[in-house]
Structure 1
Amino acid sequence: MTVNTASAAVHIAPVVVKTLVRHKKERKARKKEGREAPQDDILFDEAFHIVKSFIELGTKNTVESLQAFTNTRIPSLYWVAISPVRVPLSSCNDAADCLIKWFGQNELKKVVGGERWWQVRGLDGIDAEWIAERDHIGDEEVLYEGKRISKEEQDIIRMEKLESVMFYVHGGGYFWGSINTHRHQIIRHAHKLKGRAFTVNYRKAPQYPWPCPVQDVLAAYFYLIRPPPEALHRPVDPQKIVFCGDSAGGGLCLSVLCILRDLGLPMPSGAALISPWVDLTHSFPSVMTNTQTDIIPEHGFLAKPSVLWPLDPAPKSPRVVPATTNPPPKPGEVDTLKPSLARAEVEERGLDVPQGHYAVETQEEMLEKYPSPDPAPAMVDSAKDLSTGETSRGKEGRSVDVKSPEEIIEDWEPKPAKVLMENPSQTPLELRSQIQMYATTEQLTHPLVSPISQSSLGNLPPLYILAGDGEVLRDEIIYLAHRAAYPSQYPVRDSVLEEVTRQRENVDKFTKPTQVHLQVFDGMCHVLTVFMFTDSARYAYRSIAEFIKHVTQSPPDVVEQKPFPEYNAIAIGDTPFIDMKKRPRKWARNKEKAQTLAPTLDQEHRKDNPESDELLEQNEAVISEEIPTRSPEMDSPRTQREGGRIIMLRERVDVRGIARIMEPQDAIEVLKIPADRIGQIREAPAMRWLRGQEEWDRKYRKQGLRVLEKRKHLIHQSERLIKHALDQGLVHESFPETMVGTPREKGTGRAVKRKTSIGEIQKDRRWGPLDLKDEKPPGSAIAARRDTPEALALLRKTIYHTAPVTHQTVPRMKASDAFRATMDPHDNPNAPPRQSVAEEQVDRSQIAALNGLRIWEKILGYLARKSSSKASDGVKSTMAFMQNHNHAKEE
């Protein structure tokens, strides 16, 4: 079963009924215990379980199926201006150059796997969209250079009148989701902002793993501030841009901000991060404790086996085994991707080492015996200068030729990551499978994969960070916010500094606290803005809009001192962002106090209001008065300043959208976790993933074996494709025989007449799948694979249609291949093949009105319009709608 409208309806319908049946009982139980939760509202309760059920459905299907479903193009709303554009290859190349500079050649080779493979793409750029509300841009006729242009192109020019720009990066675990799944959220943001939004459909893992998405987001930002000649928009001032991203998108925003900071490039005026995923090692407690209150699947993002994923669909050996070596790496750590020369000497040639080094020890013994992140240098006292070419004595007394430093580490491979065990007397476990689609296990702690491992998060623009108290990522988000605001108080673990020169330099270079507003929403789950009809989400949308307007439209000196408009907001009773007239009667007692103390949010009023500091103190007094049960030691200002500069706002927001002071830092347990435990692979989440993956291995064993056979067949097809291209005149350096003289037909010796097709060599396309000699991309990367249909489509496109500059010819397709393409309903010999759904949208416009995403939109829209008393009837109507649609489809 694939993920489609029918399967989603069948899967979700029972969930809707079950939620209705148990809702009243669970609500009564919470009321008896004196607890409040967002699930008290039937609207949220239904929506929460629908979303959770849909994501669980995705784990029972292939990655390609989920990607296709969530990347299906759907029509836009009539009152919204949506203008699709494509970020060109020239902007992609600018971003690639910056990444190459950021990494450096050594890290590119040893950590990333090369500088070419992640630049390979199927499309001629990156799909993106401009989004704004029509009422905000008008409908006057617009000419461009005296010529008439399309309505969508006119809208881009009309949007120029809108000052603030939200640059939105969508989430989806780095492997699913698209502009389509998030368009309605982005439209809501644009509506509240009264500005324009720009959003990018970056490439997804596992076909395009890290750092592909980072390059695409960086390229889209360059497209905004340095538009190419063909772009219709004028250059956007970075100070008029605010990054915004949810989940994986939030993590990407933070990574790109760090790159811009490190390279001294113009940064945006701020960033709003909604439930950002910043620790892919899952080292924080809430990953285990908040599973039941979040929409994320318990065992993570598993998938039914396909030719794409997992890489080992029918494993012959266990995915996790007891450790076979002592450190490195240490328990909980992934191995360094760039070994020291001394360690390479020990492991490659077996020099004399302390007795028992190769005997596997317990976790406690390992941690005590090898305190250094890289213990090998202390063991090799007898090693000679590795660059002299002298010989050293091996373990059995034999002479061993000493190679050059480059030769020693050239073929070195990192050891499997170790798991930090809860019982220190146990032997650590080792991971033998890739546990995240976005990056290899060895890459998970890299600062651009897990930004929580950045050595410094200082010197960034103001950050507005939102989290749900019930989500699994809650702890890492809280820790992230405090690390950014207080770089010196929350250092990174030593191993990060040992491995990367840039990270060591950044500790001393970027010490200025980043201004942070952290809000944790009571009871809410991951990406609370999905549930647009809740009070919490309404508050979040309005707050994000006010933050963006403030940092993009206020004078720089004002933003530097007071970067958050909430600085002047009343915390208890209400905020200026929420209309008190729409509040239920039981909150009316705070109305008079809120109206007395809360100033207007008018910008000029804020600028000319010198009493704001005094007002803040009054607001805080109100908070203390409203919460008499708080102990004296718990009372602290919600704002923390340094030299008059606001450093951090720390708040919690209840289910009605009412903010209050967050408890002091010393009362938050997650902030007490030692730095050396952050970014480590722990036993509990690793074993939970393993249990789920082993269950999937058993359930889909036969499917996994079929996948292996299909991969062999696809490899044969790719070999035939390349052979036929060479026969037709392909000239490329990977095939030296084509580079010398005139190609000759095998057997006859007759000269081959070169044949050309309708394709072309693109000057801005640097690399293709045939250009990856000496590179070591991740196993899932489409650029280096030949065993998936998507990989073959990419290979065929770069050979016959849009070749990179490394190709000297573009051959014509062989007659037999053209015939096969003619017989394939998904192919066309006269047009480029469709590219991976991880990159290109699925065009199903003819059935878009019935697409599952539209039905999901109808469900939420209906529930949002109806009151709780009518929700039951609404759900029944929705179920009937889905059943009628399925019946009509079958007929």
Structure 2
Amino acid sequence: MSSPSAAQKLLGLIRIIVPKVPLIVSTTLVHYALGPPKKSWPYKLSITIALLRSFLAQINHVPIKDSQAMSRRVTDEDAPVNAGAVSFMSSVPGQYRDKAAAHLHMLFERQGIDDTKLGWDWRNDPRLTSEPLEGEWTWVRGVDEKELSKKKTVLYLHGGGYFLASIRTHRWATWGMANLADAKALVGYFAAIDYRLAPDSPFPAALQDALAAYLYLLHPPAESGQAAVDPKNLVIMGDSAGGGLTFATMLAIRDAGLPIPAGVIGWSPWLDLLHSMPSVLTNAPSDYLPAEGFTQGGQGSLTKVAKLAASMKPGENVLHHPDLPEIQHYATNAVLGCPYVSPVVVNSLEGTCSMLVIAGDGELLRDEAIVFAIRGAAAKKKEGDHTEVQLLVYDDMPHVFPMFDFLVSARHALQESADFIRRVTPSQESKASPMTRATSERFLRVSTEGETRPLEKEAVQGWQERLGKLGGGPQVLAQLK
């Protein structure tokens, strides 16, 4: 099939833009007449958020297969590899998925999770054989390929609610980090859309693929030509659902007794699939994520959950209600309280690695990021533990704002991420000094001009009672009634 001509591309662009003209006009009028949702927002951000919100609202009203088809249509031509980068594709042999499955099966047995609770026979997913796990390596042009194994490696897990997006939609992130951190980045993906996606392959498919990619990096087969990566030189990172998957993978690695990576980074990580935090209710005006969540395909909206929660007695958990519809595409209600699905509910973060959590103060997922970082810092009190726990909350910023490179906050977050990678993965040429207790824990707010100030650790009051695992989720959701 021949590639589209310039005229065809222009026609396609017109078809996209024309229906959005009323939205663009109304957003422009509101921005200049009444002001944007956040006073600091430039006009470009107001328009961008309005268009994203409109697009995601449309996704909620079309079959999920159609939404996924839109993701697949993003081609190399639409999202080319940066001219300053080198990249190549590499498949992860199926044996690594098998190894990951063995580890996860053991972890699930410990928690009493079986296929009935998971809702499917995940170890016999036909996509395990029909769609191999592949990855795209990216590094800065001019770096000697033979020297790459000595450098920092980033395993990037893309976002998209566990049912959308691909490696191509997130090349802005892999290239940006490869460039800033002098790292090579492996984005694990299958076919054209990364790790297996829900609803065809729900939890634990994405976790299995992420863990398989990690095992491959540590112990690649001899015939691959890849050098083994020292976990001390490896960082896992992701955005949104990919950020949640990043922390879930970290927990699985720790619990399975595998070598821990040097660090993990989450940009606006989705850590609480129970939707039990206050910002889910309060920050809708300043974010583009659907306030009701992604509810197409017969999934239960937050309003439906809230109505059931309001009818329950104190102390009862709405997740046990017999009339509760399934809430998420990614996981059944029975396992939403599992830490490998909702990392924020994990009992302990002891024995994990350095963490950088970045969130926007205006996004729906803000509070779960704050709570998770606070819990991470509380776990790292042992003498001699110099791992970092860093939390940066950016004033007025929406979900995954690092992708908006026209913002000072976005560039600041990218640079902070690169600096974190350098600190936790010291190169052979430049050994970093151990972190002290005073410098290994930072909880900061960042202004829209990049200036920092302390973040109060009680920024989310009473979070213990709000965790859905403890019955707090229904109490918060009931405010929607």
- Report what 1:526 is aligned to: 399
- Which entry has the higher C-alpha Rg, 1 or 2? 1
Flag the 1:232–1:676 CA change in 2: closer, same or farther, 3 A: same
- The whole-number CA distance in structure 1 between the counterparts of 2:99 and 2:346 is 23
- Report what 1:481 is aligned to: 373
Mapping of residues 109-120 of structure 1, within 5 Å? 109=115, 111-112=117-118, 116-118=123-125, 120=127
Flag the 1:558–1:185 CA change in 2: closer, same or farther, 3 A: closer
- Report what 1:74 is aligned to: 76
Asked whether the equivalents of residues 278 and 476 of structure 2 are also in contact (C-alpha less than 8 Å), the reply is no
Q: Residue 101 of structure 2 aligns to which amino acid in structure 1?
A: A
Asked whether the equivalents of residues 321 and 432 of structure 1 are also in contact (C-alpha less than 8 Å), the reply is no
State whether structure 2 residue 220 is matched by structure 1 residue 227: yes
| Deviation (angstroms), 1:655 | 0.7
User: SS state of the match for residue 249, structure 1?
Assistant: helix
Q: Residue 468 of structure 1 aligns to which amino acid in structure 2?
A: G
State whether structure 2 residue 105 is matched by structure 1 residue 100: yes
- The whole-number CA distance in structure 2 between the counterparts of 1:176 and 1:298 is 18
Mapping of residues 14-33 of structure 1, within 5 Å? 14-27=22-35
- Report what 2:51 is aligned to: 50
Flag the 1:515–1:431 CA change in 2: closer, same or farther, 3 A: farther
- The whole-number CA distance in structure 1 between the counterparts of 2:362 and 2:427 is 34
State whether structure 2 residue 448 is matched by structure 1 residue 655: yes
Structure 2 residue aligned with 1:83, among 71, 74, 88? 88
- Report what 2:61 is aligned to: 60
User: SS state of the match for residue 547, structure 1?
Assistant: helix
| Deviation (angstroms), 1:96 | 1.0
- Report what 1:435 is aligned to: 327
- The whole-number CA distance in structure 2 between the counterparts of 1:536 and 1:298 is 24
- The whole-number CA distance in structure 1 between the counterparts of 2:380 and 2:352 is 15
User: SS state of the match for residue 222, structure 1?
Assistant: helix
- The whole-number CA distance in structure 1 between the counterparts of 2:152 and 2:306 is 53
Q: Residue 280 of structure 1 aligns to which amino acid in structure 2?
A: L
User: SS state of the match for residue 128, structure 2?
Assistant: coil
Asked whether the equivalents of residues 458 and 485 of structure 1 are also in contact (C-alpha less than 8 Å), the reply is no
User: SS state of the match for residue 198, structure 1?
Assistant: strand
| Deviation (angstroms), 1:128 | 1.3
Q: Residue 674 of structure 1 aligns to which amino acid in structure 2?
A: Q
Q: Residue 537 of structure 1 aligns to which amino acid in structure 2?
A: A
- The whole-number CA distance in structure 2 between the counterparts of 1:293 and 1:6 is 28
Flag the 1:450–1:559 CA change in 2: closer, same or farther, 3 A: farther
| Deviation (angstroms), 1:269 | 0.5
| Deviation (angstroms), 1:117 | 3.6
State whether structure 2 residue 369 is matched by structure 1 residue 467: no
User: SS state of the match for residue 486, structure 1?
Assistant: helix
Q: Residue 76 of structure 2 aligns to which amino acid in structure 1?
A: I
| Deviation (angstroms), 1:528 | 1.1
- The whole-number CA distance in structure 2 between the counterparts of 1:159 and 1:8 is 44
Asked whether the equivalents of residues 119 and 212 of structure 1 are also in contact (C-alpha less than 8 Å), the reply is no
1:170-207 Cα distance to aligned partner (Å, 9 max, x none): 11111101111111222112111122111111011111
Asked whether the equivalents of residues 131 and 197 of structure 1 are also in contact (C-alpha less than 8 Å), the reply is yes
Give TM-score, length-normalised by structure 2.
Answer: 0.85
| Deviation (angstroms), 1:557 | 8.9
1:556-585 Cα distance to aligned partner (Å, 9 max, x none): 9956424xxxxxxxxxxxxxxxxxxxxxxx
State whether structure 2 residue 42 is matched by structure 1 residue 37: no
Aligned CA RMSD, in angstroms, stands at 3.2
Give TM-score, length-normalised by structure 1.
Answer: 0.47
| Deviation (angstroms), 1:488 | 9.4
User: SS state of the match for residue 272, structure 2?
Assistant: coil
Asked whether the equivalents of residues 519 and 651 of structure 1 are also in contact (C-alpha less than 8 Å), the reply is yes
- The whole-number CA distance in structure 1 between the counterparts of 2:454 and 2:290 is 31
- The whole-number CA distance in structure 2 between the counterparts of 1:443 and 1:513 is 33
User: SS state of the match for residue 202, structure 1?
Assistant: coil
1:12-68 Cα distance to aligned partner (Å, 9 max, x none): 3332222222222234x99xxxxx7341x1222222222222222222222111112
Gaps of 5+ in 1: 31-35, 138-156, 304-308, 313-317, 324-330, 333-360, 374-415, 419-428, 490-508, 563-640, 692-891
Gaps of 5+ in 2: 1-11, 189-193
Asked whether the equivalents of residues 320 and 430 of structure 1 are also in contact (C-alpha less than 8 Å), the reply is no
| Deviation (angstroms), 1:118 | 4.8
Number of residue-to-residue matches in the alignment? 453
User: SS state of the match for residue 70, structure 2?
Assistant: helix
- Report what 1:517 is aligned to: 390
- The whole-number CA distance in structure 1 between the counterparts of 2:204 and 2:248 is 10
Identity of aligned residues (%): 31
1:798-823 Cα distance to aligned partner (Å, 9 max, x none): xxxxxxxxxxxxxxxxxxxxxxxxxx
Asked whether the equivalents of residues 467 and 520 of structure 1 are also in contact (C-alpha less than 8 Å), the reply is yes
User: SS state of the match for residue 116, structure 1?
Assistant: helix
1:737-787 Cα distance to aligned partner (Å, 9 max, x none): xxxxxxxxxxxxxxxxxxxxxxxxxxxxxxxxxxxxxxxxxxxxxxxxxxx
Q: Residue 148 of structure 2 aligns to which amino acid in structure 1?
A: E
1:113-167 Cα distance to aligned partner (Å, 9 max, x none): 5563457525352121101222445xxxxxxxxxxxxxxxxxxx45726611111
Flag the 1:101–1:180 CA change in 2: closer, same or farther, 3 A: same
- Report what 2:7 is aligned to: none
- Report what 1:673 is aligned to: 463
- Report what 2:313 is aligned to: 363
- Report what 2:168 is aligned to: 180
